[in-house]
Structure 1
Amino acid sequence: MTAAPASAGPFQITVQPSGRAFSSEGGEAILEAAIRQGVGMPYGCKDGACGSCKCRKLEGTVVHGPHQAKALSAEEEANGLILTCCAVPQSDIVLESRQVTDESAFPVRKMPSRVSAMEKVSHDVMIVKLQLPANDTLRYHAGQYIEFILRDGARRSYSMANAPHNGPGVELHIRHMPGGKFTDHVFTAMKEKEIMRVEGPFGSFFLREDSDKPMILLASGTGFAPIKSLIEHMQFKGIQRHATLYWGGRRPGDLYMDAWVRERLAEMPNLKYVPVISNALPDDNWTGRTGFVHKAVMEDHPDLSGHQVYACGAPIVVDSARAEYSARARLPAEEFFADSFTTEADKH
């Protein structure tokens, strides 16, 4: 988590309208304190890059650690918005955040893992399966993520692509970022039986089962991984809500589990699927939807006021969807749930 300025503390943090309260130690960011005490607040990257943890400060004073302007602009900060992942209280704080849950049932834990299987499913996507300790079950919500802890202390985050009932191991979809220290290793040197240290679960991206609203499942690239986990969970639990998956890629091969999705369609009558390709070539013989995947949603659903949206993938897709669905399609801000896949480059 991003280093932040020190403060005396401890301070009390109260979250409205739920009334949940917890304390932060000196120099501890609000989100770090919430995770430590099992208070589930919305967040994604934990590094001030994605903006998923943005909320309104009603009372008190905070100091922000380093963060990206695209995640929190100076104007937004002046208007009382903060990023809980890098906001350090300087006094007692009252926040407004409507997506607060009790996550104490799923404590964050560190554990060893063993690479049990690897499958290259496209030119730049590897499915990696990890075996976890048999006597140490990782409990998580479908849609959450884990972090690899590398030897130098650096971390890399990947969403679980399998729902918890499809454990006890986890499935990850890793996209190759040429020049990236970790993904270069995955694609050139990683072998089965390799031992990796992981920590999790993290993230506030999971299905809100207290709603019966129809859902838009929006994925770009490997943003499909947590969406796949949600679909597995829905099928396992017998959840009958209507859901439409919009999965976008540059070329048809980027939809690397298209066949898996189509198999689910035959088994889940309330699930629909709209694949969208942005840069098809003549040789692809693509006859489906083209363009930007988030815009395809608005073409089909100009009024999203009665929907929930679950969006995962590249920050530009998630950010564009969040802004445009609210401004142009009447989606309530509190019904947009996202996991923005920030890379190391996005954090600097």
Structure 2
Amino acid sequence: MPEKWFTGVVTKIVEETYNTKRFWIRVPDRSSFDFKPGQFVTLDLPIHEKMNKRWRSYSIASHPNGTNEIELVIVLLEGGPGSTYLCTQVTEGTELTMRGPLGVFTLPEVLEKDLFFICTGTGIAPFRSMTHHLHNHGIAHPNIYLISGSRYEKDLLYKEEMMKLHAEMPGFQYIPTLSREDWSGRKGYVHAVYEELLADKRPANFFLCGWKAMIDEAKQKIVAMGYDRHDIHLELYG
């Protein structure tokens, strides 16, 4: 059965960075919006006459909490009709046509191997959902490494929140990595970080979310390190 479309109402918008907004969307027809951390919703936006050119999918950035409200984090892409509409036309109270939850980019049933969450930009959204879910429910987990790549520190999303989790959550490491800015943290690209951490070639599960170029390179490097492609799970942006 194809997923049915329903109406969501924007209840709150917060400017997270100079080019990124957080949107809280409530689904009035549901008492709770149930989803698995890592899943996404698809929005049908009034940006084109052809149906399939109106659809935009976004990972749910919030964790399942029993309410009928979810959070999305959206970056304004230059020349991107979907993000331009959302970031410049949508206000609190705007109704959006949407469907979901969708997708199988979710945590393994059994958490045995170390987890490497590798992302760029808004690709942190599903990992934020997964990490909070594990933490809130006290779910036993192996080591988790959240390697978040951006160009500049101002681009890092949920930085303070992730640093707090890093301090509070045993076995969780948040490793922000900047490619264009000299700072006190990791410099360069995300690939060098997981290559260093996995010099011992221990068993690992890889979750990749972000821009295609990063994901393509990561897939090649991870397989070259000797890991099976079945250890790699991905969600592509753009």
The TM-score with structure 1 as length reference comes to 0.63
Aligned to 1:254: 155
Aligned to 1:209: 109
**Alpha-carbon distance in structure 2 between the residues aligned to 1:220 and 1:166:** 28
Of 203, 215, 232, the residue aligned with 1:336 is 232
Q: Cα distance, 1:136 vs. partner?
A: 5.3
Whether contact under 8 Å (1:215, 1:307) holds in the other structure is yes
Q: Cα distance, 1:331 vs. partner?
A: 1.8
Note if 1:115 corresponds to 2:5: no
Q: Cα distance, 1:271 vs. partner?
A: 0.4
Q: Cα distance, 1:169 vs. partner?
A: 0.8
Aligned to 1:291: 188
Of 114, 118, 123, the residue aligned with 1:218 is 118
**Alpha-carbon distance in structure 1 between the residues aligned to 2:171 and 2:187:** 24
Note if 1:128 corresponds to 2:26: no
Note if 1:324 corresponds to 2:230: no
Q: Cα distance, 1:300 vs. partner?
A: 2.2
SS in 2 for 1:223: helix
Q: Cα distance, 1:189 vs. partner?
A: 2.1
Larger gyration radius, structure 1 or structure 2? 1
Q: Cα distance, 1:299 vs. partner?
A: 2.1
Aligned to 2:80: 180
Residues 93-112 of structure 1 mapped to structure 2, 5 A cutoff: 108-112=3-7
Q: Cα distance, 1:213 vs. partner?
A: 1.0
> In the comparison of the two structures, how many residue pairs are matched?
232
For the aligned residues, what is the CA RMSD? Answer: 1.7
Whether contact under 8 Å (2:30, 2:68) holds in the other structure is no
Aligned to 2:169: 268
Q: Which has the higher contact order (CA 8 A, sep 6+)?
A: 2
Whether contact under 8 Å (2:117, 2:206) holds in the other structure is yes
Letter in 2 for 1:259: E
Provide Cα deviations, 1:104-163, integer angstroms capped at 9, x if missing partner: xxx833210000111111111111110112535433211011110123431011000012
**Alpha-carbon distance in structure 2 between the residues aligned to 1:276 and 1:189:** 32
**Alpha-carbon distance in structure 2 between the residues aligned to 1:218 and 1:191:** 32
Give me the identity figure in percent: 26
Q: Cα distance, 1:294 vs. partner?
A: 2.3
Note if 1:159 corresponds to 2:24: no
* Residue 215 to residue 126, structure 1, CA distance change in 2 (3 Å): same
Residues 222-233 of structure 1 mapped to structure 2, 5 A cutoff: 222-233=122-133
**Alpha-carbon distance in structure 2 between the residues aligned to 1:324 and 1:121:** 32
Aligned to 1:147: 42
SS in 2 for 1:121: strand
The TM-score with structure 2 as length reference comes to 0.91
Whether contact under 8 Å (2:32, 2:66) holds in the other structure is no
